Structure 1
Amino acid sequence: MRFKGLDLNLLIALHVLLEEHNVTRAAARMHVGQTAMSAALSRLRSHFDDELLIHSGRQMMPTALAETIRRPLREAIQHIEAVVDIDRGFVPIDSNRCFRMEMPEHLVPVLLPILTRLTFLHAPGISLDVRPSSGDPSPLLQRNELDLVVTPSIYSNPNFASEPLLTNALVLVGWSKNPALQKQPDLATVMSLQQIIVKFDRARLSSILTQEQLSLYGGGDRTALVAPNFSCIPSCLIGTSRISLLFNGLAKLATAELPIIIWKVPIPMPSMPEVMMFHPMRRKDAALGWLRGKLREAVAEAGL
């Protein structure tokens, strides 16, 4: 279809080109050949009488006109997507939707098995594509490549819609036969023990923790192991006198399978609210609303 002399399909190509800044990546994303994408760019340049994208090293940078076009074009594409995705009466049992989600690694073993069972029981045709958190998910939400993101509220983006999901509490964990953990440890005991931690954004945490609270996360000689993820920490504690701070959901799950003991952290620690974040244009997406409801059910069943 043409509008004012322009093939409207070319606007989709321009939208992707302005996001990727690369013809090859844009072609892959649109599932067309590089030659076809180059031809589309050539036609766009002819229509707008502007280069639109110019080479700068290995990337292509937008011209001033392209920068002017970028935002209204993106908003137009999003409105079109919203029209296409309107639910004509979402029926879970009949749906074959695939939901693309991002979830913190420490919540995956706690919530995903329950969520998978709930979706299977109520909507067996629905599938889930769940990936662990990695960097800022905002561009993926903006491009409609993610439907839902579960994230700590301190990482949420105010440009997107969000709803509370759960509140995590930190607990102290260690091997159940650790002599230092046969009773509730005091602060001096905790500070004398080596720790297992994961790499974290200390600067971001320092905005919500006092220096004393932050000191419980190890440092220097007290850090015996920097683990690749939270899920492997409980098994790494067994047979050692080391300790770790874990979120309560993952800690409770570990005690059901491993000789792990849980104690309170000896000083008050702030809780960590987690939210569900999604594009504001998806507020009326009944299917996505259903999924958020199932996530809340999973949280309740997990006792979080």
Structure 2
Amino acid sequence: MRFNKLDLNLLVALDALLTELNISRAAEKTNLSQSAMSNALARLREYFDDELLIQVGRRMQPTQRAEVLRDAVNDVLRRIEGSISAKPAFVPGESNREFRISVSDFSLSVLIPRVIARAHAQGPRIRFALIPQVQDPTRALDRAEVDLLVLPQEFCTPDHPAEEVFRERHVCVVWRGSALAEGELTLERYMNAGHVVMVPPGTNSSSVEAWMANKLGFARRVEVTSFSFASCVELVKGTDRIATVHGRLARKLAPLLPVVLKESPLPLAQMHQMMQWHRYRTNDPGIEWLRQIILESAREMEEDMG
């Protein structure tokens, strides 16, 4: 099929090329041979009268024209994909669909096991791919590389619908043998201590706890950074440092470690944990089912806490 003399099959190749920035990987992604993908790139260059991808050292970089095309082409393909892949009904017991969910290790620890168990009870052949949140997870949602994000409200994108799953408070964790374990953890003691902080992998990343602390105007002395919330609880062991982490995660891990939980002296607001999905998947029956499973799992989690 052609539109304005452009073979529309080339849009799929263009999307893969602008995503992978590599002819071999783009060919593999679209199940084409490398020579067929090279031919597709040549035809695209001819049509747009632009190189689209240029070799810079050992890597390929998009031209300015390609940057303009990237999101527009992806948006068109996702809209089409969302329309043709949606089925009139989703029957969990008959499905072997794979859902790709982008989550932090916090959600992976406290919420997702309940989601997996509840989903398995309804659809034992349904599969899950749990994707770590690195770089910009909302970018993966834009490109429909994941079906669902679970992340704090502050990091949601305004381009797609979202719904609150649960709310969370932060607490402080200190080693049981530390002087900080004794008495009240005042703001002065908190600020004078060294801190263990989770920083997600990727450029310019920040944890929601660090984001809220910075918003309040506090500059802590960060002495250890980790890529995992759960590890922060253990990394205070044998030190006089503090980790400020999610309350549910801290309460789950504290009985297994020589640590003490303290109320945070920082006036941190509750974290609103959200789920977000692509706007073209709102009426996807499978996504609707998964969202309901997540909400039911969150309610169960709240009930178990009393």
- Whether 2:253 is the aligned partner of 1:254: answer yes
The 3-state SS of whatever aligns with 2:215 is: coil
| Higher deviation after alignment, 157-166 or 185-194 | 185-194
Q: Structure 2: which amino acid aligns with 1:59?
A: M
| Higher deviation after alignment, 281-290 or 72-81 | 72-81
How many residue pairs end up in the alignment?
A: 295
- Whether 2:211 is the aligned partner of 1:205: answer yes
Task: Show the counterpart of 1:84.
Answer: 84
**Cα pair 1:54 1:63 within 8 Å, conserved:** no
The 3-state SS of whatever aligns with 2:165 is: strand
The 3-state SS of whatever aligns with 1:88 is: coil
Unaligned 5+ segments in structure 2 are 200-204
What CA RMSD, in Å, does the superposition of the two structures yield over aligned residues? 2.9
Deviations 1:205-255 (Å, cap 9, x if unpaired)?
A: 2696222xx34xx31xxx443334211122233344432211111111112
Q: Structure 1 residues 226 and 79, CA, compared in 2 at 3 Å: closer, same or farther?
A: closer
Task: Show the counterpart of 1:244.
Answer: 243
| Higher deviation after alignment, 174-183 or 133-142 | 174-183
Partners of 1:279 and 1:91 in 2: how far apart? Answer: 21
**Cα pair 1:254 1:260 within 8 Å, conserved:** no
What displacement does 1:89 show? 1.1
What displacement does 1:100 show? 0.7
**Cα pair 2:198 2:207 within 8 Å, conserved:** no
Q: Structure 1 residues 86 and 176, CA, compared in 2 at 3 Å: closer, same or farther?
A: same
**Cα pair 1:171 1:247 within 8 Å, conserved:** yes
Q: Structure 2: which amino acid aligns with 1:111?
A: L
Partners of 1:139 and 1:180 in 2: how far apart? Answer: 41
- Whether 2:111 is the aligned partner of 1:120: answer no
Deviations 1:259-294 (Å, cap 9, x if unpaired)?
A: 432221124222222211211010001111111122
Partners of 2:281 and 2:123 in 1: how far apart? Answer: 20
Partners of 2:74 and 2:98 in 1: how far apart? Answer: 23
Task: Show the counterpart of 1:265.
Answer: 264
Q: Structure 2: which amino acid aligns with 1:201?
A: S
Q: If the length of structure 2 is used for normalisation, what is the TM-score?
A: 0.83
Q: If the length of structure 1 is used for normalisation, what is the TM-score?
A: 0.83
What displacement does 1:53 show? 2.3
The 3-state SS of whatever aligns with 1:99 is: strand
**Cα pair 1:51 1:63 within 8 Å, conserved:** no
- Whether 2:37 is the aligned partner of 1:37: answer yes
What displacement does 1:67 show? 6.5
- Whether 2:92 is the aligned partner of 1:59: answer no
1:1-304 map, 5 Å: 7-45=7-45, 48=47, 50-51=49-50, 53-57=52-56, 58-62=59-63, 64=65, 73-199=73-199, 201=206, 205=211, 209-211=215-217, 214-215=218-219, 218-219=220-221, 223-303=222-302
Deviations 1:29-75 (Å, cap 9, x if unpaired)?
A: 213221110122334455x37345252523253475x6776565434
Partners of 2:240 and 2:261 in 1: how far apart? Answer: 14
Q: Structure 2: which amino acid aligns with 1:205?
A: W
Deviations 1:165-212 (Å, cap 9, x if unpaired)?
A: 22221111223454542444322333344332223638982696222x
The 3-state SS of whatever aligns with 1:245 is: strand
Partners of 2:198 and 2:9 in 1: how far apart? Answer: 46
The 3-state SS of whatever aligns with 1:38 is: helix
